[in-house]
Amino acid sequence: MQGRLSAWLVKHGLVHRSLGFDYQGIETLQIKPEDWHSIAVILYVYGYNYLRSQCAYDVAPGGLLASVYHLTRIEYDVDQPEEVCIKVFAPRRNPRIPSVFWVWKSADFQERESYDMLGISYDNHPRLKRILMPESWIGWPLRKDYIAPNFYEIQDAH
């Protein structure tokens, strides 16, 4: 079933894939990385003026990585704001997705955390660097194929 936003995007010739609705009835769309920044700007102009959250996850060991954006249309005198979930998938080998920092400033720390934990590079992010792990940390801890260092061996070496 196609949702309201998906129908609007189709009407305006904007490439995407409908992923249906989540358990709360929120429409979920897939956008290609190369189309994401343009569509993000269009969504902002269309009224999705609030980035409620951004997160990322590892779809499957050795598979794609996903960056997920929950957007909301905040309007006066509206009790139930419109929401949409956007998923942008990137290949594990070179995961690059355009940053939406310049569209929604609240993406700043959230994209940095996704970079830090999963290694997704957000192109044109002004301060893309580790936010939780030390700069010297090697690897991406939330990837399903991540092998954690054995801290007992490290301590024994000292």
pLDDT tens string 6-45: 999 999 999 999 999 999 999 999 999 999 999 999 999 9
CATH code of 22's domain: 3.30.460.80
Below-50 pLDDT ranges, the chain: none
Q: Which pLDDT value is given to residue 157?
A: 53
Do the beta carbons of residue 86 and residue 37 sit within 8 Å?
no
Q: Which pLDDT value is given to residue 112?
A: 98
Q: Is residue 158 part of a domain?
A: no
Q: Which pLDDT value is given to residue 78?
A: 80
Q: Which pLDDT value is given to residue 97?
A: 98
Q: Is residue 139 part of a domain?
A: yes
Which residues are CB-neighbours of 62 under 8 A, at least 6 positions away? Answer: 92, 145
Q: Is 75 helix (H, G, I), strand (E, B) or coil?
A: coil
Q: Is residue 157 part of a domain?
A: no
The upper half-sphere exposure of residue 13, i.e. CA atoms within 13 Å in the direction of its Cβ, equals 0
Strand partners for 96:
121
Give the domain extent around 77: 2-152
What distance in Å separates the CA atoms of residue 148 and residue 146, rounded to the nearest whole number?
A: 6
Q: Which pLDDT value is given to residue 2?
A: 85
What distance in Å separates the CA atoms of residue 125 and residue 37, rounded to the nearest whole number?
A: 12
The amino acid at residue 7 is: A
At residue 48, φ and ψ (nearest 5 deg) are: -80, 80
Q: Is residue 17 part of a domain?
A: yes
Provide the number of structural domains found in the chain. Answer: 1
pTM to 2 decimal places: 0.91
What distance in Å separates the CA atoms of residue 113 and residue 130, rounded to the nearest whole number?
A: 7
